[in-house]
């Protein structure tokens, strides 16, 4: 039991000695205050940059979603318009084939 108390007491005395060493003014207070001020200003800049980057990311995300929706709409329109266009082309092709046949028969009549 005494060994444990000796260990605890030595730890506490060492801690008190370390605290007293830290209390000695071997570092000038102006240097500490300047460093503290520079660190605080750097932190404030980083926080403001974080806010700016966050808003830019949100705006970019919104724009990307909007463009994706427009892309889907355009694909749908092209898909539906493409079907209509195919139907129109098929009917025009049928009309041209019929006209060709009529012209062939007229040419035969004219040549006879």
What is the pTM (predicted TM-score) of this model?
0.42
Report the C-alpha gap between 72 and 96 in whole angstroms: 36
Residue extents of the structural domains in the chain: 2-110
Report the C-alpha dihedral over residues 43, 44, 49, 50, rounded to 10 degrees. 70
Phi-psi region of 27 (alpha: psi -120 to 50; beta: other; left: phi over 0): beta
pLDDT tens digits for 11-59? 999 999 988 887 877 767 677 678 889 999 999 999 989 989 999 999 9
């Amino acid at each position: 039991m005494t060994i444990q108390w000796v260990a605890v007491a030595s730890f506490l005395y060492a801690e008190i000695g370390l605290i007293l060493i830290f209390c000695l003014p071997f570092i000038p207070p102006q240097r500490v205050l300047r460093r503290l001020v520079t660190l605080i200003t750097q932190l404030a800049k980083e926080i403001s940059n974080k806010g700016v980057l966050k808003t830019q990311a949100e705006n970019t995300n919104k724009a990307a979603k909007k463009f994706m929706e427009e892309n889907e709409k355009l694909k749908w329109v092209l898909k539906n318009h493409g079907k209509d266009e195919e139907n129109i082309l098929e009917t025009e092709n049928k009309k041209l084939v019929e006209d060709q046949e009529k012209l062939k028969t007229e040419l035969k009549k004219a040549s006879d």
